[in-house]
A and B are shown apart, each in its own frame.
Chain A
Amino acid sequence: QVQLVQSGTEVKKPGASVKVSCRASGYAFTKYYMHWVRQAPGQGLEWMGIVNPSGNTNYAQEFQGRVTMTSDTSTSTVYLEVSSLTSEDTGVYYCARRAGRPGDPFEIWGQGTMVTVSS
């Protein structure tokens, strides 16, 4: 079945970097775009950016310069790397699949990866 499986929980110190993976299965990886969404504890959803299968990206302004999204078509996996972590980066990070037509929603989500930033 179609699914996105993310890597496990991370605990990092302030100033460090974290890399989260999202492995896709059950569909043609190259036909869909992947987005990343963050959710701080007890807070709402925040769009971080998009990476297409070719590796082209579009990041939310808040994360530009600190976030890198990459795509590996050989393993159907996308990666999110966040650098210079602070406590405000603590939260759950989701990958979500979206087709490329205008208005297409995120219809498949990963299970989420908890990232805790603490000294």
Chain B
Amino acid sequence: IQLTQSPSSLSASVGDRVTITCRASQGISNYLAWYQQRPGKAPKLLIYAASTLQSGVPSRFSGSGSGTDFTLTISSLQPEDFATYYCLQLDSYPLTFGGGTKVEIK
């Protein structure tokens, strides 16, 4: 299953609303997770089951979608949110990641 993430990068300002999309090449129900990765660090789980917020993750992060189209939204971008974001499908093996979206400061 291929995951196509868009955009591959974006520039935004603190306080902006940011939306990242992830499209699967076939239906994966809601078996999708979103991760944030800062430089030199391991990925951090933000969202699983497409829309369930991981414990401890700020509520400005939200996820939606089912089937083939998914969205990660950051409602009000904060300085610590500048990072790279990846989607991951957990429907079937081999597990696959999206190509990543780098969120940079405008």
What is A's interface to B at a CB cutoff of 8 Å? Answer: 35, 44-47, 50, 58, 60-61, 94, 102-107, 109-112
Please state if B97 and A47 are interface contacts (CB–CB under 8 Å).
Answer: yes
Return the contact of A103 from the options B35, B48, B54, B94 (Cβ within 8 A).
B48
**Which of B27-46 touch A at CB < 8 Å?**
29-31, 33, 35, 37, 42-45
A112 adjacent to B90 (CB under 8 Å): no
Complex Cα distance A102/B95, Å? 12
Interface size bracket, B side: 20 to 34
B64 at the interface (CB under 8 A from A): no
Q: List chain B residues, Cβ under 8 A from A94.
A: 42-43
List residues 65-106 of chain B with CB under 8 A from any CB of chain A: 86, 88, 90-91, 93-100
Please, which residues of chain A bring their CB within 8 A of the CB of B91? 102-103
CA–CA, A8 to B48, complex, Å? Answer: 30
B97 touches A44 (CB 8 A): yes
Kindly state the separation between the CA atoms of A58 and B94 in the bound complex, as whole angstroms.
8
Given contacts A103-B29, A103-B30, A106-B88, contact A46 B49 (CB under 8 A): no
User: Cβ of B100 and Cβ of A44 under 8 Å apart?
Assistant: yes
Minimum distance in angstroms from A61 CB to a CB of chain B: 7
CA distance A103 to B95 in the complex (A): 11
Given contacts A44-B86, A45-B43, A105-B45, contact A61 B94 (CB under 8 A): yes
What residues of chain A lie closer than 8 Å to B99, measured between beta carbons? 44
Asked whether A60 lies within 8 Å of B94 as measured between CB atoms, the reply is yes
* Pair A111/B97 contact, Cβ less than 8 Å: no
Are A107 and B94 closer than 8 Å at their CB atoms? no
CB under 8 Å from chain A, chain B span 1-57: 29-31, 33, 35, 37, 42-45, 48-49, 54
Q: Is the CB of A105 within 8 A of B97?
A: no
Cβ-defined contact, B42 with A105, below 8 A: no
Chain A proximity of B39: nearest CB distance (Å): 10
CB distance from A6 to the nearest CB of B (A): 10
Contacts of B100 in A (CB 8 A): 44-45
Q: Which of B33, B93, B98 contacts A105 (CB 8 A)?
A: B33
